[in-house]
Amino acid sequence: MEDFFIRHTDEFISSGITLLVVVIVRFLTNKTIKKVGSISDLNEARTRLVSKYFSFGFTTLTIVAFTLIWGVNVRELGLILSSVFAVIGVALFAQWSILSNVTAGIILFFSFPFKIGDRIMIMDKEIESSGAYVIEDIRAYHIHLRKENGELLTYPNNLMLQKAVCVISDEAPENEGSDAV
């Protein structure tokens, strides 16, 4: 057992450094996401959701790094990964809209063109009843929009990026020249 540790000292040191770097970067990323969420006055659930996405990405990168550090045969690993990705690719081809909605949700989080409680109007010919909607909730795949008559519209995130969206201000415009007689 002692011989195992002596032979693999470099791998243990590299693994420790990798783990330390990932933990620090993950902590800083989560802190940045929370800061962006609080500065932008975004919903706590949205902030946690984006943090989970980044945590999943960091976990995947850590597994790849450990695989490379511990000397897994890259050719065999490449064969396994290509087979797995082929199956996943075929399975996800039918579900491309889910991935595009999740990606759009992350983009909407960081660009924050609108937030929960804003009144918006979507310029989409396919929506049967046009008019103003209030953003009730922004989720991973879709946005809940409520019309003044109580009608609830669930609208995909990716369409929020593709269609023109007007944020309606409740404030009346000030007339600077209204003092004229």
CATH number, position 125: 2.30.30.60
- In the chain, how many domains are there? 2
pTM across the whole model: 0.54
Check residue 80 and give its pLDDT: 77
pLDDT in tens, 9-31: 888 999 999 999 999 999 999 99
In a domain, 45, yes or no: yes
Q: State the pairing for strand pair 119-123/152-156.
A: unpaired
134 in the same domain as 86: no
Q: Is residue 104 part of a domain?
A: no
**Residue partners of 55: CB distance under 8 A and separation at least 6:** 26, 30
**Which is higher by pLDDT, 92 or 65?**
65
What are the tens digits of pLDDT across the range 163-181? 888 888 765 455 444 444 4
Q: Is residue 106 part of a domain?
A: no
Q: What range does the domain containing 121 cover?
A: 113-168
Whether residue 24 contacts residue 63, with contact meaning beta carbons closer than 8 Å, is answered with no
Among 42, 60, 94, the domain boundary falls at: 94
